[in-house]
Amino acid sequence: MLIEMVTQGVLTTDPAARVTIQRSRHQEPVEIPSIAEVKSILAAADRLADHKYKYISQPWQRYRAMIYLASDSGLRPQEYLALPTADLLERGIRVTQAVSRSNRIEVPKSPAARRYLPVSTDVLGMTRHYVDRHEGPNLAGLVYPGEHGGHQQYGHFSKRCWRTLMTEAGLVQEKEIDGEKRLENLYTPYSLRHFYASMLITNNKDI
């Protein structure tokens, strides 16, 4: 699968190089991370999950599994935030629900969004390992429940996980906003989905 191809160096060319996806005439094109950048993202997640301080490593056991699954499946963030343990199958996952804009878990509105996705053995193993070792409350029966047992909110995930991940991976840039210099992420959580799609296109697969 995708993670195996990236980490084992199977790919000899970068399918994401100079690729953008134009969302509309009034929005900036979507930037897709390169293979090297995706490797940096995964390595950063590994380092954080293996951190010597438990208060850092403990939440990153969950976040690392999420990032690897996102990279290997093309899931939307709202889909893996609401992934039920019942949809973790032998060779992949089902998508039957997602976190809505109103922060509720709802079924997908379109039939195409309800789908089966094959996932590599290594990533499935990492995911099951996290599920088996999770000791906190899990009121919603999710693969990646939040601290209080419900689902994680996208905004919290973006701030607590993604921002830290981008900094650790060195994928931030300094921008001046209102006269103040700030570090901005080069990519969003959706960038892993776009990267996955670019890989499918390169390998002549139906998106």
Spell out the domains of the chain, with CATH numbers in brackets.
2-10+33-202 (1.10.443.10)
Buried b / exposed e over 44-68, threshold 16 CB at 10 Å, is: bbeebbeeeeeeeeebbbbbbbbbb
Whether 24 shows a pLDDT value over 70: the answer reads no
Instruction: For residue range 70-118, list pLDDT tens digits in order.
Output: 999 999 999 999 999 999 999 999 999 999 999 999 998 888 899 999 9
List the beta bridge partners of residue 20: 31
Angle (CA) 183-187-189 rounded to 5° is 120
For the chain, what is the mean pLDDT? Answer: 89
What does the pLDDT read at residue 1? 60
176: phi then psi, degrees, rounded to nearest 5: -100, 120
Q: How many CB atoms lie within 10 A of CB 37?
A: 19
Q: What is the 3-state secondary structure (H, E, C) of 51-80?
A: CCCHHHHHHHHHHHHHHHHHHHHCCCHHHH
Q: Residue with structure tokens 């499935």?
A: 124
What does the pLDDT read at residue 180? 84
